[in-house]
Structure 1
Amino acid sequence: MPNPQFTKPWHGIPRENIEWNPTIIEDACIGCGTCVTGCSRLVYRFDFERKKPVVIDPLNCMVGCTTCANTCPAQAIVFPPLESILALEGLPEVRHAVEDDLLNRRDILVSPLSIPHPDRIVSLSVSGIEPVSPEVIRVTLTPVEAGECFCEFSAGQYIELWQPGSSHLSRSYSIANAPHGDGSITLHIRRVESGRFTAWAFNEMKVGDQLQARGPLGSFTMRSAPDTPLLFIAGGTGLAPVLALLEQQVTFSPERDMRLVWGMKHAADFYALDTLHLLASRAPNLKVVLAAEDLTSFEGPTSKHLDWIEGNVLDAMEEDNALSILRDLYIAGPPAMLREIARDLDRRGVSRERVHMDSFGV
């Protein structure tokens, strides 16, 4: 019988609704029993007559655990694709359940170690809110106190923000501009279904509000030699850190050979096209490809710098196999997209040393 201790909901989702348990490949199994004795949750039992392990209580299996498969000497155990669990982790109710669990058990889970770090916490004021699409707002933040800013950040980095008056954990957002010297930063905030922070940002945030921010954070920064051609790939609001890197390059190396592939589900979802037009007009060797899975009844702005294709970013790369050849790649977007691109680049034989990725998945 399944053990109630092990079959309790996983981050708010009933365990019986999650397909995660081992399957034994009978022909490959050598009957060593390693999986049976190694699983402390009694997922398996042992058939002593057949000398074979049997999956008896699959719901006892810890979601995401593959220890038995990893230690099986005959590689006779398989699990469902991990993507199914990663997809669940992207659900707002799962993220909120994790956050609530951390806060409710803070006295137990808080780290006893005090780890020094250079992160700064400053107060920023909302100086601009611009809806740029039905699902994205462009927010400008400026220092409350002169000199108290993230003036030293590098293009491509991100900050953490706390919602005023809330006990929730901070949320991370990439800075969508290169440093301007005045300490102002721009964020692209995407509406998240049932998202706690974005519900406040879209419905209650107003100019003049003050937020606590920590940073700058992250290493998604320019690491390529000045003469190396670049390929930027963005999905959704993954454009934000890419836009900061592009602005940096257009400012300091406007002649550089650069390509941007930006993907959206619907063509009408693209925003910041005015900014891309401006950057492309200053950089003669910058070419932009906008990939939309749905181009139906949409007439996008055209120019010699912007091309439109129907499909996703992988389709755009497939159309031009030379895109990833001899270029350093800077890629930002949701985790599922990054995993697909990573597999595709491995298939193409692209060296991982040339690939830099940044995820805004949570």
Structure 2
Amino acid sequence: MTTHTITLLPSGHQFQCSEDESILKAGLASGLFMPYSCRSGVCSTCRGTIKEGKVDFGNVHPNYLSEDDKRVGKALLCSAKPLGDCSIEVRELDPAEAFPVRKLPCRVLQLERLAPDVMLMTVGLPANEPAVFKAGQYVDFVLKDGTRRSYSIANVPVTDGVRQVELHVRLVPGGRFTEHVFNSMKLRETMQLEMPLGSFYWREQSDKPMIMLASGTGFAPIKSIIEYSIERGNKRPITLYWGGRTRACIYMAALAEKWAAEHEHITFVPVLSNATPQCNWTGRTGFVHKAVMEDFPDMSGHEVYACGAPIVVESARHDFAAQCGLPEAEFYADSFITEAERHKAAA
């Protein structure tokens, strides 16, 4: 298979990529730390601009990469494949910031239902192989047939590595893996995982106020970031918005309320989009990202960390920049994609 030279701008870093391989995959394999999250052509984290050369944009749904985007050279690098040598503008990350990705065996240690459709799953790692990660990153479970399921890490990283990983698993009706987690998974069951993954993590060196936006189990990596920032003694203002359909979706509200009560720099704003009479709800309602915009009409001096359903993340990405002046470089995101959504995005 023919290979081509990919040059990243403005760094000038170069690597080889074959015509049957995504530019992102080849770049990561070469040791560069390119931004990415879902690797499914949905989250837009890996978006770059083709400055020279041509690419096969891949089978990306127009919701995530329009024909207008393609005409100006925008590409999702997890899907794009080179048709010749290319120069691509992309917001690279410092390779020194990346931890090596490892495959590890793990064992189920805890299963605790936090809501009717949310399970807290704790898995243990080998005692002699603690894992390092950045607050906000995720793991992949590698199933026996080679398919993967991605879940964000909810616990706090430790310098010398953790021996347990906390995950928040949402039940997807008909989902092969989540149905197993909720209905038949046993304690001590063994699996294989790969970690750490993704470029969604806390930028500790910044001094900007932080807006945390979570929908559903998108709270998991936000929990990791906030608890780690508290542990580090960081006092940057944090405003956490957590959106769900009903009160049960805000499944760790007591913990978020505790953060806000104990730390003056933390504010918690839960938002329900479909509150029922049973919720007995007197708080904010509507779309969670709209609540953020109401409170922060000017985001030009902020950082945003957004995690959850793709529609929430992409609406926030677009509206915060277009209407609230948030710099594109200050929006950090991770979209939670189900296997069904992956197939839909590729359709």
TM norm. shorter chain > 0.5: yes
| Secondary structure of the structure 2 residue equivalent to 1:294 | coil
1:149 and 2:130 aligned: yes
1:170 and 2:148 aligned: yes
C-alpha displacement at 1:195, in angstroms? Answer: 0.8
Pair 1:69–1:285, CA change in 2 (3 A): closer
1:133 and 2:111 aligned: no
**Aligned partners of 2:115 and 2:316: how far apart in 1?**
26
Residue 263 (structure 1) aligned to one of 225, 243, 251: 243
**Aligned partners of 1:241 and 1:285: how far apart in 2?**
19
| Secondary structure of the structure 1 residue equivalent to 2:245 | strand
**What is the CA deviation profile of residues 302-327 of structure 1, one whole-angstrom value per residue up to 9, with x for unaligned ones?**
xxxxx930112123123313573421
**What is the CA deviation profile of residues 178-222 of structure 1, one whole-angstrom value per residue up to 9, with x for unaligned ones?**
125542110000011211111111111121111111111111111
- Using structure 2 for the length normalisation, give the TM-score: 0.65
Work out whether residues 123 and 211 of structure 1, in 8 Å CA contact, stay in contact via their aligned partners in 2: yes
Work out whether residues 231 and 323 of structure 1, in 8 Å CA contact, stay in contact via their aligned partners in 2: no
Match for 2:336: what amino acid?
F
Pair 1:159–1:320, CA change in 2 (3 A): same
**Aligned partners of 2:106 and 2:206: how far apart in 1?**
34
Match for 1:320: what amino acid?
D
Between the two structures, name the one with larger relative contact order (CA 8 Å, sep ≥ 6).
2
Pair 1:243–1:323, CA change in 2 (3 A): farther
| Secondary structure of the structure 1 residue equivalent to 2:273 | strand
Structure 1 gaps, min length 5: 1-61, 74-116, 301-306
Partner of 1:41: none
| Secondary structure of the structure 2 residue equivalent to 1:318 | helix
Pair 1:351–1:70, CA change in 2 (3 A): closer
Match for 1:350: what amino acid?
L
Q: Which has the larger radius of gyration?
A: 1
**What is the CA deviation profile of residues 144-171 of structure 1, one whole-angstrom value per residue up to 9, with x for unaligned ones?**
x212231x111111111134xx425021
**What is the CA deviation profile of residues 307-357 of structure 1, one whole-angstrom value per residue up to 9, with x for unaligned ones?**
930112123123313573421111111111112112211222211011111
Partner of 2:288: 313
**Aligned partners of 1:334 and 1:314: how far apart in 2?**
12
Residue 180 (structure 2) aligned to one of 200, 206, 209: 200
**What is the CA deviation profile of residues 13-51 of structure 1, one whole-angstrom value per residue up to 9, with x for unaligned ones?**
xxxxxxxxxxxxxxxxxxxxxxxxxxxxxxxxxxxxxxx
**Aligned partners of 2:127 and 2:271: how far apart in 1?**
41
Work out whether residues 216 and 242 of structure 2, in 8 Å CA contact, stay in contact via their aligned partners in 1: yes
- Using structure 1 for the length normalisation, give the TM-score: 0.62
Q: How many residues align?
A: 248
Work out whether residues 237 and 265 of structure 2, in 8 Å CA contact, stay in contact via their aligned partners in 1: yes
Partner of 2:342: none
Aligned residue runs from structure 1 range 53-72, under 5 A: 64=61
**Aligned partners of 2:295 and 2:66: how far apart in 1?**
42
**What is the CA deviation profile of residues 75-123 of structure 1, one whole-angstrom value per residue up to 9, with x for unaligned ones?**
xxxxxxxxxxxxxxxxxxxxxxxxxxxxxxxxxxxxxxxxxx9421111
1:351 and 2:327 aligned: yes
Pair 1:347–1:215, CA change in 2 (3 A): same
Partner of 2:227: 247
| Secondary structure of the structure 2 residue equivalent to 1:201 | helix
Aligned residue runs from structure 1 range 196-345, under 5 A: 196-297=176-277, 298-299=279-280, 308-322=283-297, 324-345=299-320
**Aligned partners of 2:296 and 2:135: how far apart in 1?**
28
Pair 1:72–1:227, CA change in 2 (3 A): closer
| Secondary structure of the structure 1 residue equivalent to 2:127 | coil
Pair 1:274–1:68, CA change in 2 (3 A): closer
Pair 1:174–1:71, CA change in 2 (3 A): closer
Q: Which range moved further: 271-280 or 334-343?
A: 271-280
| Secondary structure of the structure 1 residue equivalent to 2:283 | strand
Over aligned residues, Cα RMSD in angstroms?
2.9
C-alpha displacement at 1:68, in angstroms? Answer: 12
Pair 1:213–1:296, CA change in 2 (3 A): same
Match for 1:131: what amino acid?
R
Work out whether residues 267 and 294 of structure 1, in 8 Å CA contact, stay in contact via their aligned partners in 2: no
